Amino acid sequence: MLLDNKHVAIIGGGPGGLTLARLLQLKGINVKVYERDYNADVRVQGATLDLHYESGLKAIGTMGLTDVFKGTYRPGADKGRVVDKHAKIIYDEHNQTPNEAFNDDFSNEWSRPEIDRGPLRNMLLNSLLPGTVVWNSQFITMTQVDNVWKLEFKNGTTAIADIVIGTDGANSKIRHYVTPIKPSYSGVTIVQGNIPDSETAVPNIHQLLKGGKIYAHGDEKFLHISSKGDGSLDFYVSCKKDENWMQNGGIDFSDRKQVLAWFKQEFPGWHSLWLELPENAGLPLLIRPQYCMPFDQNWEAHSNITLLGDAAHIMPPSGEGVNLAMLDALELSECLAGNDFKTIQTAIAAYEKPMQGRAAKEAQISLEMTEWMHSEDALAKMTQMLNQTE
């Protein structure tokens, strides 16, 4: 096998990196995951996500975690309501007949079981051998000597690896070792927040949410809200802004008074119900400018380093991010741990070409989605999209 007696270093402990680690360990490969978080519990994970049968669910099955996943996912959490700015329900998936698509073999292409990011991460962490994840390891730099990488971390430690795989997300520190190509700003910035105990803190929105999702459109703005299994809710406001809006806007998103003033200015004429969000959100709110890879990006494969997930192909949210990362991990593991290639470089090349192709298609879809979700007819288009998934 190509990776016999090789040490693989995965930089980043998100779903993509942990999936890759699990798949490589199943093949008996020596792998470590270097994660900047101090431990598994130090940072609250983000909103819920749905896994797709041809990507995320496929990886779950290959990892042998189907039964664990079935005990972890949240039935019904994928149901959404499309509402206008006055909180009037335009389309309601809760009135639909339940889709029994989630089955033992994931053979239905419409399978979209929902799971919180925290439980998904914990499920993947628990599947790894003890000591696989090296916590408090924020990557700083690395150098290559005799085809071996020496990695240096902020805490002063170092590590040696034969192969480095960057799974460190949108702001990847590994990407520039692979390619000089940089993503560009999409024109949209997301303001994200979380509200614990939504039933008590925001009862009106909690009732409207009904344990699922809310998609609110109006005035070329988009507000998304999702329930979480811990009783909290996540929300994000998606707005067309200049790339440096956060730095130049003069708004302190850790100050409740300023946050409320900004929200009222951003959403004039919207129902007062929506004010429950900035009034009760934990502060500071997160400001996330959205970037996208060039559709035509490609690079020459290297012999001992590659990327997957957002590190390889960042794009605005489209519902595919984690699914693409897990599929990347699955296909990369098959190339590296199989017997089809004579060198690691050819194995990496065989992985990267289709990865780049499907990512380019999804990136274009994500930008098109970003555009119409901020358009005047977004309500109609969102309803049409949900109808097509029935």
Q: Regarding beta strands 213-218 and 80-83, do their DSSP bridges make them parallel or antiparallel, or are they unpaired?
A: parallel
Closest to 287 in 3D by CA, of 329, 332, 327, 248: 248
3-state secondary structure of 110: coil
Length of the chain: 390
User: DSSP 3-state helix, strand, coil percentages of the chain (rounded to 5)?
Assistant: 35, 25, 40
229 in Cβ contact with 116 (< 8 Å): yes
- The CB density around residue 162, as the number of other CB atoms within 10 Å, is 17
Question: Rounded to an integer, what distance in angstroms lies between the CA atom of residue 156 and that of residue 255?
Answer: 35
Annotated binding site for FAD: 50, 117, 310
Tokens of 215: 């998609």
**Cα dist from 270 to 3, 87, 263, whole Å:** 57, 8, 10
Give per-residue burial for 245-261: e unless 16+ CB within 10 Å, then b. ebeeeebebeeeeebee
| Tokens linked to 267 | 């959403």
Q: Which residues are annotated as a binding site for NADPH?
A: 43
Pairing of strands 163-166, 305-307: parallel
Q: Report DSSP state, residue 155.
A: T
Binding-site annotation: residue ranges:
43, 50, 117, 310
What are the distances in angstroms from CA 248 to CA 69, 191, 283, 302? 44, 15, 20, 39
| Residue of 252, 209, 217, 216 lying closest to 233 (CA atoms) | 209
Separation of alpha carbons 187 and 239, rounded Å: 8
CA atoms within 13 A on the CB side of 241: 21
